[in-house]
Amino acid sequence: MKSTLLTIFLGLILTSATFGQKTEKPSGKPKLVVGIVVDQMRQEYFYKYQDRYTEGGFKRLMNEGFMMKNGHYNYIPTYTGPGHASVYTGATPSTHGIIGNNWYVPSLGRSIYCAEDSTVTAVGGSAENGKISPRNMLSTTISDEMRFASNKRSKVVGIAIKDRGAALPAGHMGDAYWFDSKTGNFMTSNYYYDTLPKWVSAFNEKELAKKYLSQKWEPLSPIATYTQSIADDNEFEGPFIGMTSPSFPYDLPALMQDNGEFGLISTTPYGNSLTLDMAYAALEGEQLGKRGEMDLLAVSFSSPDYIGHRFGPSSVEVEDTYLKLDREMEKFLNYLDKEYGKGEYLVFLTADHAVADIVDYMKSENIPAGNFNSRFILTQLRGFSQAQFGEGNWILNFSNEQVFLNKALAKEKGLDDEKMQRQIAEFLLGFEGIKEVYTATDLRRNEYLFGRKNLLQMGYNHKASGDLLLILEPAWLSNSYKGTTHGTGYTYDTHVPIVFFGWNIQPGSSSRYATVTDIAPTLSVLLKTRLPNGATGHPILEITDKK
Ligand SMILES: [Zn+2]
């Protein structure tokens, strides 16, 4: 009797042990893949602030991971929507179709937003922030392919403050949650679920955004120690509404009302803390990586972009943001070690684009730079085309440095499309700041293999892009008067981190040119999934084919 019980008891232990092992560890794959996109992170930030990074955050990724030190975006325009789509599809906008954050659609007579979907409604947040899905993205993502490879047993969860930073990485088959600036909650749309999963509601009940915003944003250490940045108070940065100078400390409760209510958290390092809080909740709520299947958590830190736009890459605020993000990253990696075991999870980190320096700051240092006034150019363009082609609304839209011509009107008046494009291109070249102008005809007929022409072509979508595409001079930015922006094909916008860390990754680095479209194919090889269907990048051999 005793021995029978013991046998049953031992049997149970053995069964649960085997069962436990089987459920916790997929064979030949990591338990969990964590994709991290830091919105607007330059590769340079790995080095610039490293003296004050901890050992366990960015430095650990650098020292224990494999870093491509010369990783770039390989298309124009370098914006957030296209960036996230390109990282996860391994393709460029010419293929995946996310050609901007917003772009003009002649047949609708208006611009559309990259993640907008009028057929879906908000779930768990305000109606206006809920018409979101990945439907405008035309090719599959590595997240979709992970779902296919496991017959949909793998879970995919995308999290970000920006909806596009969550919805595009999660692909067409994953779940996505983003921050609702109206309510301070994380929300989704009925593309994904009809009601919020319990763990998301429970997370929202904690009202963490409110808690963070009841505090001040103070620097991590005294301002005098921020020796990698220009003076805190200067004329180049954009102060918050209600402040006269762009300098510490930031009294967030006082600033909230005039600076986007809950949305204010986006422009503070607390936005990163909140994003990670939600990431921890997702890992636990969905039991990611603990079900015997390889799961994917796609996190995008949106706050560095908001902060970077307002204060620029040489600011104390950006330095403070990265010092704090480094500490959050250390905590996060320690958590992953504890929950999944060192080497049992795979992390990759990149950015959706980098950023230009503030124009007036560059000028103050004698670097040729300029502000491109697109409204002025549009007015000039309208005058010119009326003088050339007669009365009429010839220019439908000018956005993302692309001109959309009224082709229907041209047809009606019997004008030659190509000749018209050419005349306008020549006219535009007369303006200071415009370096090159390409016509849609140029981009359709020729194949540009290198240089900025190639970048433009990789971002050119035959069905969606404009009729004339401009390239500005280096350090010339569109409509950027305080603070800064990004979007060009110059290195300050294209050069971003590409780091792999953890499961099956040997420490090392390479200075070989690589592109962000190589990330998804590298994952495909490592994770033994199909390539995303439109992928044009290549596996990073230093990572996939190590001895
Ligand atoms: Zn941005």
pLDDT tens digits, one per residue of 460-471: 999 999 999 999
Report the chain's mean pLDDT, rounded to a whole number.
95
Instruction: Give per-residue pLDDT as tens, 480-502.
Output: 789 999 999 999 999 999 999 99
Task: Report pLDDT for 19.
Answer: 43
Catalytic residue list contains 494: no
Q: Which of 15, 23, 80, 494 is labelled catalytic?
A: 80
Reported confidence tier of residue 546, pLDDT bands at 50, 70, 90? confident
CB atoms within 10 A of CB 60: 18
CA of 304 to the centre of ligand 1 (A): 9
How far apart CA 208 and CA 186 sit, in angstroms, is 10
CA of 418 to the centre of ligand 1 (A): 34
Task: Report pLDDT for 27.
Answer: 86
Q: 395 and 385 in contact (C-beta within 8 Å)?
A: yes
Does residue 440 register a pLDDT over 70? yes
399-to-161, 470, 479 alpha-carbon distances in Å: 25, 10, 11
- Comparing CA positions, the residue from 65, 300, 33 lying closest to residue 143 is 33
Instruction: Give per-residue pLDDT as tens, 97-148.
Output: 999 999 999 999 999 999 999 999 999 999 999 999 999 999 999 999 999 9
Once rounded to an integer, what is the mean pLDDT over residues 159-186? Answer: 98
CA of 481 to the centre of ligand 1 (A): 15
Reported confidence tier of residue 247, pLDDT bands at 50, 70, 90? very high
Reported confidence tier of residue 26, pLDDT bands at 50, 70, 90? confident
How far apart CA 531 and CA 326 sit, in angstroms, is 32
Task: Report pLDDT for 399.
Answer: 95
Instruction: Give per-residue pLDDT as tens, 189-229.
Output: 999 999 999 999 999 999 999 999 999 999 999 999 999 99
22 or 533, higher pLDDT: 533
Does residue 31 register a pLDDT over 60? yes
Task: Report pLDDT for 14.
Answer: 44
531-to-96, 148, 182, 256 alpha-carbon distances in Å: 14, 11, 38, 44
CA of 275 to the centre of ligand 1 (A): 17
Q: 512 and 70 in contact (C-beta within 8 Å)?
A: yes
- Comparing CA positions, the residue from 508, 511, 509, 537 lying closest to residue 525 is 537
Once rounded to an integer, what is the mean pLDDT over residues 343-369? Answer: 97
Q: 172 and 134 in contact (C-beta within 8 Å)?
A: yes
CA of 101 to the centre of ligand 1 (A): 10
Task: Report pLDDT for 501.
Answer: 98
Task: Report pLDDT for 6.
Answer: 47
Place of tokens 């659609």: 105
- Comparing CA positions, the residue from 85, 44, 51 lying closest to residue 225 is 51
How far apart CA 520 and CA 528 sit, in angstroms, is 12
CA of 163 to the centre of ligand 1 (A): 13
CA of 269 to the centre of ligand 1 (A): 16
Reported confidence tier of residue 24, pLDDT bands at 50, 70, 90? low
Strand positions, DSSP E, 418-462: 434-439
Report percent pLDDT > 70 for the chain: 95
Residue list, CB under 5 A from ion ligand 1 = 305
CA of 40 to the centre of ligand 1 (A): 6
- Residue 415 is given by DSSP the state -
CA of 293 to the centre of ligand 1 (A): 35
Does residue 2 register a pLDDT over 90? no
Task: Report pLDDT for 480.
Answer: 77
CA of 309 to the centre of ligand 1 (A): 6
Strand positions, DSSP E, 208-312: 216-217, 250-251, 295-301
How far apart CA 88 and CA 83 sit, in angstroms, is 9
Sort 191 into a burial class: Cβ within 10 Å, 0-12 / 13-18 / 19+. buried
Place of tokens 């909230």: 256
Does residue 3 register a pLDDT over 70? no
Does residue 353 register a pLDDT over 90? yes
CA of 487 to the centre of ligand 1 (A): 8
CA of 83 to the centre of ligand 1 (A): 10
In this structure, what token pair is assigned to residue 76?
């124009």
CA of 6 to the centre of ligand 1 (A): 64
CA of 238 to the centre of ligand 1 (A): 14
Give this prediction's pTM. 0.94
In this structure, what token pair is assigned to residue 125?
């947040």
- Comparing CA positions, the residue from 135, 317, 326 lying closest to residue 231 is 317
Instruction: Give per-residue pLDDT as tens, 515-532.
Output: 999 999 999 999 999 999
Task: Report pLDDT for 323.
Answer: 98
Q: 49 and 368 in contact (C-beta within 8 Å)?
A: no
- Comparing CA positions, the residue from 196, 488, 223, 197 lying closest to residue 357 is 488
Q: 516 and 38 in contact (C-beta within 8 Å)?
A: no
Does residue 33 register a pLDDT over 50? yes
Does residue 383 register a pLDDT over 80? yes
CA of 494 to the centre of ligand 1 (A): 13
Task: Report pLDDT for 481.
Answer: 82
- Return the SS3 of 436: strand
